[in-house]
Amino acid sequence: MSLKEKEFAKLIKDNQGLIIKVSRLYTNSLEDEQDLFQEIVLQLWRSYDSFKGNSKISTWMYRVALNTAITLFRKKTKSPQTDELKDYHHQDYLEDDDEKQNQITLLYKVVKMLPKVERAIVMMYLDDQPYREISETLGITEVNARVKMNRLKKTLKELMEKHA
């Protein structure tokens, strides 16, 4: 394994949570989630040499992951959209507390109801990404990212109350 491959493998290992979150929010089945995860890793590898370090590595990874997810989402019109969540193998991200698990599951469910860009904003916000990086990744102004997130907080609260 070359040094480049080792660096890339470490990058993926250190940031797999980011890829899993994108994969989970833009798919409706475990199989599709795993396929999207692999496709994102492939696209990251293909564009790895083009990363110049002008932004944070996480910003670049979000951009590639979201673009890959949205592109595949557009292409995949054959499978119907559902609101049901499958039993994911990535349960290590959830704590044992049942109530907290239920809240997280509900959050994923209602976030999936949002349009694609809004999903990305919420996901990055929940990952504590600064508004500057959210705006840079999505190609919107920082003010627009803040305004959208404030509106999304209200929308998410209403959706969670409605679907609880």
Same domain assignment for residues 111 and 158? yes
Same domain assignment for residues 111 and 75? no
Same domain assignment for residues 34 and 108? no
Give the H or E element holding residue 38. Answer: helix 30-47
Q: What is the pLDDT of residue 39?
A: 95
Least confident of 9-13, 41-45, 82-86, 117-121: 82-86
Q: Is 67's pLDDT higher than 60?
A: yes
What is the rounded CA–CA span in Å between residue 102 and residue 38? Answer: 27
Same domain assignment for residues 28 and 76? yes
User: Which residue carries 């999505």 as its tokens?
Assistant: 138
Q: Which of 20, 52, 82 is the last residue of a domain?
A: 82
Range of the domain at 102: 93-164
One-letter amino acid at 138 equals L
Q: Which of 57, 82, 107 is the last residue of a domain?
A: 82
Q: Is 117's pLDDT higher than 60?
A: yes
What is the rounded CA–CA span in Å between residue 84 and residue 70? Answer: 20
**pLDDT tens for each residue of 7-31:** 999 999 999 999 999 999 888 889 9
Q: In terms of Cα–Cα distance, which of 114, 126, 138 is closest to 18?
A: 126
